[in-house]
Amino acid sequence: MAVDLQSSRTALLSAAARAAHLTVDDEPFLFRDTVAERVLGSTGVEMIRYHRQRGGHPIPANTRVTATVRSRFAETALREAVDRGVDQYLLVGGGARHVRRARSELARGLLVVEVDHPGTQRWKRQRLSESGVDVPGTVRYAELDLTLDSVFDRAVEAGLDPSRPVFVSWLGGVPYFGRSELDRILADLARTCPGSELVADYRVPPRGRDTRDELYVRAVSVVASEGGEPWRSTFPPDGVVALLGSHGFAVVADHSERAAVPADLWERRDELVPGGLVRLVHARRGVDR
């Protein structure tokens, strides 16, 4: 069956937000993604222009906060995992973040396996080739449909060693799945070796949001739904602890956007304000089942 070379709309919006952050917002930057704009190419021109024209508006500003904070949080946790001896990195729906990480000093000896939807994956790989971005030989790719396929099996087929711990980054994905789907995916990820780690972001229920958060939800959830990617789940922090715990993952950190990065990054002159809608969680598989 033919697969369209078309990326996820929400993935494109997140990449555009990371790219725009470097020209729209002031320093200190929350995260430096120097690859995103190059990979997006003509597809991202209008998206990035929107940020530049309306940079101070709460909706694009919140998008830039979420896209950059979660990437920084994940990379900080990855660095700490590598320091503990983890040498495998599994990205579920990885965008082009693997390129930045695989080219860095940190990634020497780090196997990077990225799994993503076939259409998104093929579009992305085509764009990497067309834009001349050098992808190191330590990067492996696998195509899958998260609603049907096993992340663990696809990753192992791509070269992941199931006998060694792996750091799993699943950013921007949890809200698009219902509870039964999340249980299936987490049960699959629980097949990773004890000592493996997981970083993800999730959205909180209405009672945990403020007015600015609700404005963002009303605007962005409509765009996501129209693009065939409706939001399907929210969790309070204790709900995430219970969900992950039921699959053998112990939460080691669960932060708001404000607490997820160093406090001095919020001493700003621009319009970036951390919100309460999104939280970042870092969990680890115990040595005992």
Q: What does each of the 289 residues of the chain score in pLDDT, given as a tens digit?
A: 333 445 678 888 899 999 999 999 999 999 999 989 999 999 899 999 999 999 899 999 999 999 999 999 999 999 999 999 999 999 998 655 555 555 554 556 799 999 998 888 888 888 888 988 888 888 999 999 998 999 999 999 999 999 999 999 999 999 999 999 999 999 999 999 999 999 999 999 999 899 999 999 988 887 778 777 889 999 999 999 999 999 999 999 999 999 999 999 999 999 999 999 999 999 999 854 4
* Torsion angle of C-alpha atoms 120, 282, 161, 286, degrees rounded to 10: -150
* Strand ranges in the chain using DSSP code E only, listed in sequence order: 88-92, 111-116, 139-143, 167-170, 197-203, 249-256, 278-285
Work out the number of other CB atoms within 10 angstroms of the CB of residue 157.
Answer: 14
Task: Kindly report the backbone phi and psi dihedral angles of residue 176, in degrees, each rounded to the nearest multiple of 5, phi listed first.
Answer: -90, 5
What CATH number was assigned to the domain covering residues 9-285?
A: 3.40.50.150
Whole-angstrom distance, CA of residue 202 vs CA of residue 174? 6
Asked if 92 and 168 count as a contact pair (C-beta separation under 8 A), the reply is yes
Query: Across-strand partners of 194?
Result: none
pTM score, whole prediction: 0.92
Asked if 162 and 156 count as a contact pair (C-beta separation under 8 A), the reply is yes
Q: Which of 93, 70, 227 is nearest to 147 (CA)?
A: 93
The torsion region of residue 84 among left (phi > 0), alpha (psi -120 to 50) and beta comes to alpha
Task: Kindly report the backbone phi and psi dihedral angles of residue 75, in degrees, each rounded to the nearest multiple of 5, phi listed first.
Answer: -70, -35
- Extents of the domains making up the chain: 9-285
